[in-house]
Amino acid sequence: IDIQNQDNHFTGKIITWVFEYVPQNEKQTNRIFKRTTNLDLNEIGLIRSLLLSKHFKELPPDDSIVGWKKGLDGYSYHFEYSTRDCYTFKSYWSPISQGILKEAVLVQSIVDSVLKISSANKELKDFLKDVPFESYYTDGGSHAVLKVLTRKERRKYRRERKRFLRKEH
């Protein structure tokens, strides 16, 4: 979710993308499927209020919170805030896995609220139904999907990749 301010005019959008995964015996396409959905001013205002709240602004990143565990699975949330005079970046690995750690409860509450306000979960579900790739992964490869296909479907995707590669060259 990206919210920007240009001359006190706020815009916001949900940006979702996946990278095509191509079988090893085929040439890589480097294709990306991306969708951008605009947020309305009410959604933008509510999200900004949450992220600019005193409780969240004063919350340190997870590596500065005593007792916050790290891992390789689960979800990570990254929050970036910048003005002309200030820049902050906070990252939180899997707050839901941190038990009753008060900071984790706060982060998860804010994440849940932002996702609800923006309908991001519904957007993601709709987006994933429309992905035009046989197999794909998210940034960093943390989430991969391999569709189970019939031979006919597999040939269709292979032909599409070959057509794409011919256009590119």
Instruction: Tell me which amino acid residue 74 is.
Output: G
Taking only the tens place, the pLDDT of each residue in 71-100 is 888 788 999 998 889 899 999 999 999 999
Identify which has the larger pLDDT, 41 or 142. 41
Q: What is the CA radius of gyration of the chain?
A: 20
Distance CA 65, CA 102 (A): 10
**pLDDT tens digits for range 120-136:** 989 989 999 999 999 99
The two three-digit tokens of residue 17, written as one number: 């993308």
How do residues 16-51 score in pLDDT, each as one tens digit?
Answer: 999 999 988 899 999 999 999 999 999 999 999 999
Q: Given this model, what pLDDT does residue 34 score?
A: 96
Closest CA to 95 of 56, 68, 64: 68
Full-model pTM: 0.81
